[in-house]
């Protein structure tokens, strides 16, 4: 007795579901410059590593004799595969099937993908297009009822969507128009990417917004410049293949779950390499900016810096890197934007980045150049001081090892945030470092106005005062009192940071953090 007939039926159903929404809708997907969900999964994962779960799930139509006439697949394709040899869960929306809305959804597939990642401690990659399993206007007719959001038990796994951010690495790829629940799933990730000119992300799309009296195109409402600029999405690239490459690289810095520690890569450069350019990179004129990314590239392993959120909160640079092979979280002030002052956006960016470092046991390296919190009417209207204190609190709440390199400015209340104040952190200062309650530049004339006005040569007297104060604020004076531990030759920075990475390695403690990353 053979079961060949049943196996033939299985193959038939598999073939039907692999047709997705049909040849016409697949062609429409390609015409719009977008890959299908199965093509995306194939390109995201290692070759031939995808094992699909629930492949033949869908909505079937039978004739009077009970013979299968049609099988419309579920709009969620998920399973497990490998990225650079490591097991991951991958879940993708099939936009060719009713725009990936709830009309064609089997919500338990979404939930199972999240649950599999949680239970088996594997990173999850969400490929999102459409509403990501959310509803459409027609849903109430097709189901015969109105859905209560959340309900008693979220079949779509929205609870696990957030919970997993504290357990496993989560990547969100927004590859098309993403709205509602899909947008929520995209931003509830540790790293999210859009494709320029193709992707758009919004709470509700243009037809809904137009009814409120605000006609907008998709790109005007939720294009990449909007979403990356406001910090809702981390990155935007030119092609889907670039998005897959960015996702693979991001995952390479992280463990499979919080129950592991980030893996060390094979070192690719000399840990003692000294860059001669560092001793002249910082201008003596403290009002003159310089390129902090040049410093970062010089001190971390060659080509290892992976920047995140470049277009948002631009006074601070954040990203992942390696030091002698060890993954670390790097944040650095950028004097090209507002002199490196921290505004409300920069503070939000830092908090989220430190949540990532804390969740996955990444030591923090802070290349410090912060003249303080941003000032002025815009700063007051955006509650910069509140966001600043939230940032200071977040820094003090971290428990991961921390090393600060004071490159130039540390001033004011914002200066308190250059390292945790409640535990030992390594700290080194360059000779270009300057600190205090507030920068002297611009305040000397006001503080010594009467004395300068009474001088026989006011300009010469002003310069004399500046020279006296410059001598007093020398970092060597602070080092005499042991208020700064070490002043170093900038060329030794990489060696000391590599030492820090080796010192920090045995201190990384696997397991859930006392707090985890929030969306």
Residues 220, 365 share a domain? no
Q: Which of 339, 358, 383 is nearest to 518 (CA)?
A: 358
Q: Are residues 334 and 370 in the same domain?
A: yes
Same domain, 301 and 406: yes
Give residue 423's domain range: 276-433+484-507
Q: Is residue 438 part of a domain?
A: no
Average pLDDT over residues 491-497: 97
Mean pLDDT of 313-321: 97
Selection from 141, 77, 129 nearest residue 103 by Cα: 141
pLDDT band at 83 (very low <50, low <70, confident <90, very high): very high
**Mean pLDDT across the chain:** 90
**Least-confidence region, from 253-257, 481-485, 499-503:** 481-485
**Residue 77: what pLDDT?**
95
Do 362 and 329 touch, CB atoms closer than 8 A?
yes
Angle, CA 113 vertex, CA 107 and CA 118 arms, to 5°: 130
Residue 153 has pLDDT above 70, yes or no: no
Q: In this prediction, what percent of the chain has a pLDDT beyond 70?
A: 92
pLDDT recorded at residue 127: 97
Of all residues in the chain, the percent with pLDDT exceeding 90 is: 69
pLDDT value of position 333: 97
The pLDDT-based confidence of 152 (bands split at 50, 70, 90) is: very low
Instruction: Give residue-wise pLDDT tens across range 465-488.
Output: 777 777 777 888 888 888 899 999
pLDDT exceeds 50 at position 187: yes
pLDDT in tens, 190-214: 999 999 999 999 998 889 988 888 8
Whether residue 497 lies inside any domain: the answer is: yes
- Shared domain check, 422 and 322: yes
Residue 469: the pLDDT is 73
Q: What is the mean pLDDT of residues 227-244?
A: 97
Q: Give domain status of residue 259, yes or no.
A: no
Percent helix / strand / coil, the chain, rounded to 5? 40, 20, 40
Tell me: do 186 and 295 sit in the same domain: no
Same structural domain, 244 and 318: no
State how far Cα 236 lies from the chain centre. 12
Residue 459: per-residue pLDDT: 80
Strand-pair category, 426-429 with 191-195: unpaired
Position 440 in a domain: no
Among 252, 284, 301, the domain-final residue is: 252
Is the pLDDT score of 53 beyond 70?
yes
Both 232 and 346 in one domain: the answer is no
Task: Give the DSSP letter string of 253-267.
Answer: TS-SSTTS-PPPPPP
Domain count, the chain: 2
Of 252, 287, 309, the residue that ends a domain is 252
Q: Are 153 and 284 found together in one domain?
A: no
pLDDT for the residue numbered 102: 56
Average pLDDT over residues 320-326: 97
Domain match, 183 and 287 both: no
Tell me how crowded residue 57 is: count the other CB atoms within 10 A of its CB: 17
In 363-451, the DSSP E strands lie at 364-370, 402-411, 426-429, 434-436
Residues 63 and 191 in one domain: yes
Average pLDDT (101-115) is 79
**What pTM, to 2 d.p., does this model score?**
0.91
Q: Counting beta carbons within 10 angstroms of the beta carbon of residue 382, is it exposed (0 to 12), middle (13 to 18) or buried (19 or more)? A: middle
> Which has more pLDDT, 401 or 478?
401
Residues 20 and 106 in one domain: yes
Which CATH number is 147's domain given? 3.90.226.10
Using pLDDT thresholds of 50, 70 and 90, give the confidence band for residue 406: very high
CA angle (497 as vertex; 492, 502 as ends), nearest 5 = 130
Higher-confidence residue: 144 or 19? 19
C-alpha distances (whole Å) from 458 to each of 444, 452, 467 are 12, 5, 14
Confidence class of residue 458 from pLDDT cuts 50, 70 and 90? confident
Q: Is residue 445 part of a domain?
A: no
195-199, 212-216, 315-319, 345-349: segment of lowest average pLDDT: 212-216
Question: Does the pLDDT at position 165 exceed 80?
Answer: yes
pLDDT of residue 444: 67
The half-sphere exposure of 249 on its side-chain side, counting CA atoms within 13 A, is 18
> Between these two residues, 58 and 167, which has the higher pLDDT value?
167
> Which residue, 252, 268, 301, sits at the end of a domain?
252
**pLDDT surpasses 60 at 10:** yes
Q: Does the pLDDT of residue 269 top 90, yes or no?
A: no
Judged against a pLDDT cut of 60, whether residue 166 lies above it is answered with: yes
Does a structural domain hold residue 66? yes
> What is residue 439's predicted lDDT score, i.e. its pLDDT?
65
Residue 87 has pLDDT above 60, yes or no: yes
DSSP class of residue 206 equals: H
Residue 455 confidence (pLDDT): 80
Residue 152 domain-assigned (yes or no): yes
474 within domain boundaries: no
CA distance to 271, 404, 431, per residue, from 374 (Å): 36, 21, 25
Residues 204 and 306 in one domain: no
Q: What is the pLDDT at residue 137?
A: 60
Of 135-149, 282-296, 298-312, 335-349, the least confident: 135-149
Average pLDDT of the segment spanning 363-380: 95
Give the residue-averaged pLDDT of 325-338. Answer: 97
């Amino acid at each position: 007795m053979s079961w060949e007939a049943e196996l033939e039926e299985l193959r038939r159903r598999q073939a039907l579901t692999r047709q997705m929404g049909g040849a016409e809708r697949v062609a429409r997907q390609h015409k719009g410059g977008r890959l299908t969900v199965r093509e995306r999964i194939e390109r995201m994962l290692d070759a031939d590593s995808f094992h699909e779960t629930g492949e033949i799930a869908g909505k079937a139509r039978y004739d009077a004799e009970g013979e299968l006439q049609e099988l419309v697949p579920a709009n969620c394709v998920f399973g497990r595969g490998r990225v650079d040899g490591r097991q991951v869960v991958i879940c993708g929306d099939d936009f060719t099937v009713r725009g990936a809305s709830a009309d064609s959804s089997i919500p338990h597939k979404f939930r199972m993908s999240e649950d599999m990642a949680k239970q088996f401690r594997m990173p999850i990659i969400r490929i999102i297009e459409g509403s990501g399993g959310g509803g459409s206007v027609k849903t109430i007719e097709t189901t015969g009822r109105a859905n209560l959001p959340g309900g008693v038990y979220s079949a779509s796994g929205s609870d696990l969507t957030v919970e997993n951010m504290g357990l496993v690495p989560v990547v969100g790829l927004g590859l098309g128009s993403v709205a509602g629940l899909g947008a929520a799933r995209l931003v509830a990730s540790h790293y999210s990417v859009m494709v320029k000119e193709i992707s758009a992300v919004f709470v509700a799309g243009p037809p809904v917004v137009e009814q409120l009296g605000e006609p907008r195109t998709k790109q005007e409402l939720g294009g990449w410049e909007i979403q990356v600029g406001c910090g809702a999405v981390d990155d935007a690239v030119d092609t889907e293949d670039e998005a897959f490459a960015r996702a693979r690289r991001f995952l390479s810095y992280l463990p499979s779950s919080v129950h592991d520690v980030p893996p060390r890569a094979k070192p690719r450069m000399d840990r003692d390499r000294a860059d001669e350019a560092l001793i002249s990179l910082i201008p003596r004129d403290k009002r003159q900016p310089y390129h902090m990314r040049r410093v970062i590239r010089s001190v971390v392993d060659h080509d290892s810096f992976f920047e995140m959120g470049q277009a948002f909160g631009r006074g601070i640079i954040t990203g992942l890197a390696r030091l002698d092979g060890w993954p670390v979280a790097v944040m650095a002030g950028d004097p090209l934007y507002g002199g490196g002052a921290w505004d409300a956006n920069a503070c939000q960016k830092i908090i989220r980045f430190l949540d990532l470092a804390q969740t996955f046991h990444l030591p923090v390296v802070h290349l410090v150049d912060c003249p303080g919190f941003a000032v002025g009417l815009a700063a007051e209207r955006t509650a910069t001081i509140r966001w600043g204190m939230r940032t200071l609190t977040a820094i003090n709440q971290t428990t991961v090892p921390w090393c600060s390199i004071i490159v130039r400015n540390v001033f004011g209340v914002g200066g308190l945030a250059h390292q945790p104040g409640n535990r030992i952190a390594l700290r080194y200062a360059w000779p270009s470092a300057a600190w205090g309650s507030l920068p002297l530049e611009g305040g000397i004339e006001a503080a010594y106005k009467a004395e300068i006005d009474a001088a026989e040569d006011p300009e010469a007297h002003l310069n004399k005062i500046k020279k006296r104060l410059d001598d007093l604020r020398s970092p060597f004076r602070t080092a005499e009192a042991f208020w700064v531990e070490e002043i170093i030759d900038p060329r030794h920075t990489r060696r000391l940071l590599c030492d820090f990475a080796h010192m920090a390695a045995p201190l990384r403690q696997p397991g859930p953090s006392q707090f985890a990353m929030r969306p």
